[in-house]
């Protein structure tokens, strides 16, 4: 039977949330094509893979070795491309790892690679949609098999499906010196940060915050909501915030359930990065700011007065 | 040190993009095209590597039509030494086809470092650099935000979710650049004048036509304009109520 390979992702030996979304996308594709889903987990031994059948995996392939704890591009690509040899398609997540690994698997398979896939229809040919020009245009593409498809976080929902999920260990090749590029460590900040591209709630600040210190109100609201902090290009370019937080065409494209634009006027390149958010809230002192044209809810006013009040109300709600 | 920088001509990020009459491409008239912003970091890094090595050559390579020459001149004006235009008439070829054409050229050049922007802001595929590395069997680190190279070896940092990966590699290598790696210099007037005289060679290449077919382009559905709930902190309770009871996201 034809198979779809779902390449899952672990960090510190635990599956990331995006893994279940990848499995959901692969399941939909497999059901349309009458194929099985083989989930692939590359990492150290002991990654919890028992429940993957319930999320749509017919079979779970495990490539386990302590040396695979960190993402080793060359070895991961070799293992995934080997596992994908007879598969009709490979699906993986559009994370930092997936963005690097997907093209490598495609090059090794000699197969086309399509990233940022937002929807998949496999009832006949495989047809997918994806944004181009950072979301200013949506493209519909017909994709042949085999192919490699990458899905961004928050685009596909995990599924409930009672599949077998039988676990099978696969061989980990000894590639000797062939690795040539080696990930030696991960530097993490002392306090864990939620990534803006993966978060369900994003609170972004822009130039409407007058000083770097004013960003505190953004951080406090994000903390109260359990969301991630985002930033406009203007405040990244003037050095207030790290580029890893930038939302927009030269930053990250995000699609959370709830997006707060605080003191962000709504330049076209910012809108391109967040317009697919499910609910958008804008707070800006200028009632004519373009951000209000795409926001679901707006408050006109001084962000330093309005935002702390929102934080206060959110805290009350959470405590209540 | 011999360095290749692969660059792409893309619409300016501030440009409004309109779907053309055929429904499968974009309207190019009236759109300003620029050097892909992420490629500027690649060009800048090549200049820094050459300065650090005390010499070498920087070759700018681009795949496309004659229109790419203007884009390549921007990189030459920043300080790159010469250019190679891989000329094709295939519009918007598939990433793997692009990677194959570039890899074939890069193999000829025996470069110590091959640089790419991490993605092009038009199709946003984030793919060609890593594909080229696989096709050439070279080490590759993508989306680097910090780089140190010495004695034929390098260490790069790349941003991942909630952290930074530290990757060690040997040269020759392929690297793709992320914003934050450096501050690209503006071409000085002298550089712009000199760029006009720098060699820019054109080579005809054949690019495979992939099986991926664009069946349509469309503008995203307009979001319905929402409502202004009021002014100042007094409007906050109405917002909380709407988020909780109407949008049901709190």
Predicted pLDDT of residue A179: 58
Identify whether the C-beta of residue A276 lies closer than 8 Å to the C-beta of residue A248: no
* Distances in whole angstroms, Cα of residue B215 to Cα of each of A272, B122, B222: 22, 17, 21
CB count within 10 Å of CB A279 equals 21
The pLDDT of residue A178: 63
Q: Is A237 exposed, middle or buried (0-12, 13-18, 19+ CB in 10 A)?
A: middle
Span B223-240, average pLDDT? 94
Which chain A residues contact residue B149 at CB under 8 A? none
Inspect the interface and report whether the beta carbons of A194 and B99 lie closer than 8 Å: no
A:130-149 residues touching chain B, CB 8 A cutoff: 131-144, 147
3-state DSSP percent of chain B in helix, strand and coil, to 5: 30, 30, 40
Among B165, B211, B218, the residue to mutate for chain A (most A Cβ within 10 A): B165
At B222, the pLDDT band (50, 70, 90 cuts) reads confident
Give the Cα separation of A262 and A264 in Å (integer). 5
Both tokens assigned to A8: 């899952």
Question: How many angstroms separate the CA atoms of A301 and A309, rounded?
Answer: 12
Percent of chain A with pLDDT over 70: 99
CB-closest option in B122, B217, B233 to A306: B233
Burial of A293 (0-12, 13-18, 19+ CB in 10 A): middle
Of the pLDDT bands very low, low, confident and very high (cuts 50, 70, 90), residue B18 is very high
What confidence score (pLDDT) does residue B223 get? 85
Looking at every residue in chain A, the average pLDDT score rounds to 94
Would the pLDDT of A46 be above 90? yes
Percentage of chain B exceeding pLDDT 90: 91
Which helix H or strand E contains B147, and what residues bound it?
A: strand B140-150
Overall average pLDDT of the A31-58 stretch: 96
| Per-residue burial over A5-21, b = 16 or more CB atoms within 10 Å of its CB, e = otherwise | bbbbbbbeeebbebbbb
Q: Distances from the Cα of A65 to the Cαs of A76, A78, A102, A173, B102, in angstroms?
A: 11, 14, 21, 10, 35
Is it the case that residue B224 has pLDDT exceeding 90?
no
A246-268 pLDDT per residue, tens: 999 889 989 999 999 999 999 98
pLDDT tens digits along B40-51: 999 999 999 999
pLDDT at B172: 97
The pLDDT assigned to A176 comes to 67
Helix (H, G, I), strand (E, B) or coil at A186: strand
Q: Residues with Cβ < 8 Å from A280, sequence gap 6 or more? A: A259, A261, A274, A294, A295, A296, A297, B223, B226
Judging contacts by C-beta atoms under 8 Å, the chain A residues touching residue B138 are 180
pLDDT at B210 over 90: no
For chain A, the domains span 3-179, 201-319
Spatial distance between the Cα atoms of A179 and A183, rounded to a whole number of angstroms: 10
Please judge whether A257 and B228 are an interchain contact, meaning their C-beta atoms are less than 8 angstroms apart: no
Partner-chain residue, chosen from A133, A187, A278, that has the shortest CB–CB distance to B11: A133
What digits encode the pLDDT tens for the residues B67-126?
Answer: 999 999 999 999 999 999 999 988 778 999 999 999 999 999 999 999 999 999 999 999
> Per-residue pLDDT averaged across A158-187, rounded?
88
Give the residue from A16, A97, A100, A239 with the most B CB atoms within 10 Å of its CB, the best one to mutate: A100
Directed axis angle between helix B68-78 and helix B37-53, to 10°? 40
Q: What is the residue extent of each domain of chain B? A: 2-204
Contact call for A141 and B165, based on CB within 8 A: no
Q: Which CATH superfamily is domain B2-204 in?
A: HUPs (3.40.50.620)
List, for residues A76-118, the tens digit of each pLDDT value. Answer: 999 999 999 999 999 999 999 999 999 999 999 999 999 999 9
Q: Which CATH number does A201-319 carry?
A: 3.40.50.1220
Mean pLDDT, rounded, for B25-38: 95
Are A140 and B218 inside 8 Å of each other by CB?
yes
| Residue B74, min C-alpha distance to chain A (Å) | 19
Q: Do A275 and B223 touch (CB under 8 A)?
A: yes
Q: Which class in CATH covers the domain with range A3-179?
A: alpha beta
Contacting A residues, span 278-307, partner chain B, CB-CB under 8 Å: 278-281, 287, 292-302, 305-306
Interface test with B, best of A102, A143, A180, A197 (most B CBs within 10 A): A180
Residue A65: its pLDDT value, please? 95
């Amino acid at each position: 039977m034809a198979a779809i390979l779902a390449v899952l992702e672990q960090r510190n030996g635990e599956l990331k949330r995006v893994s279940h979304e990848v499995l959901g996308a692969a399941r939909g594709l497999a059901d349309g094509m009458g194929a099985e889903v083989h989930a692939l987990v590359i990492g150290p031994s002991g990654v919890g893979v028992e429940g993957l059948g319930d999320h749509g995996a017919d079979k779970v392939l495990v490539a386990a070795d302590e040396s695979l704890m960190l993402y080793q591009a060359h070895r991961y690509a070799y293992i995934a491309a080997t596992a994908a040899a007879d598969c009709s398609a490979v699906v993986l997540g559009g994370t930092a790892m997936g963005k690097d690994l997907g093209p490598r698997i495609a090059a090794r398979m000699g197969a086309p690679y399509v990233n940022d896939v937002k929807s998949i229809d496999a009832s006949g040919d495989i047809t997918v949609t994806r944004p181009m020009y950072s979301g200013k245009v949506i493209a519909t593409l017909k994709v042949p098999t085999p192919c490699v498809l990458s899905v961004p976080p928050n685009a596909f929902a995990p599924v409930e499906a009672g599949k077998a999920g039988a676990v099978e260990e696969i061989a980990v090749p000894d590639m000797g010196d062939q690795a040539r590029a080696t990930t030696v460590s991960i530097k993490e900040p002392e306090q864990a940060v939620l990534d803006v591209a993966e978060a369900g709630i994003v609170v972004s600040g822009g130039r409407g915050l007058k000083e770097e210190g004013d960003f505190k109100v953004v951080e406090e609201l994000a903390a109260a909501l359990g969301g991630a902090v985002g930033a406009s290009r203007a405040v990244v370019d003037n050095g207030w915030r790290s580029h890893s937080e930038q939302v927009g065409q030269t930053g990250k494209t995000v699609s959370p359930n709830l997006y707060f634009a605080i003191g962000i006027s709504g330049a076209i390149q910012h809108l391109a990065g967040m317009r697919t958010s499910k609910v958008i809230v804008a707070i800006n002192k200028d009632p004519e700011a373009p951000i209000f044209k795409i926001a679901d809810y707006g408050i006109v006013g001084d962000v330093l007065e309005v935002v702390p009040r929102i934080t206060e109300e959110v805290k009350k709600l959470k405590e209540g | 040190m011999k360095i290749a920088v692969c660059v792409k001509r893309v619409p300016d990020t501030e440009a409004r993009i309109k779907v053309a009459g055929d429904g499968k491409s974009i309207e190019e008239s009236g759109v300003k095209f620029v050097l892909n912003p992420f490629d500027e970091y690649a060009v800048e890094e090549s200049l820094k590597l050459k300065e650090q090595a005390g010499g070498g050559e920087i070759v700018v390579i681009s795949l496309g039509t004659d229109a790419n020459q203007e884009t390549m001149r921007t990189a030459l004006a920043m300080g790159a030494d010469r250019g190679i235009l891989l000329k094709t008439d295939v519009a918007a070829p598939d990433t793997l086809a692009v990677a194959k054409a570039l890899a074939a050229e890069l193999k000829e050049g025996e470069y110590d470092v091959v640089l790419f922007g991490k993605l092009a802001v038009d199709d946003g595929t984030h793919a060609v650099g890593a594909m080229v590395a696989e096709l050439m069997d070279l080490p590759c680190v993508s989306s680097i935000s910090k780089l140190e190279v010495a004695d034929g070896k390098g260490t790069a940092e790349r941003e991942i979710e909630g952290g930074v990966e530290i990757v060690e590699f040997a040269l020759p290598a392929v690297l793709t650049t992320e914003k934050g790696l450096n501050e690209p210099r503006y071409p000085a007037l002298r550089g712009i004048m000199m760029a006009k005289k720098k060699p820019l060679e054109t080579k005809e290449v054949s690019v495979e036509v992939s099986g991926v077919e664009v069946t349509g382009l469309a503008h995203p559905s307009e979001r319905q304009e929402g409502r202004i709930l009021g002014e100042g902190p007094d409007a906050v309770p109405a917002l909380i109520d709407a988020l909780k009871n109407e949008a049901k996201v709190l």
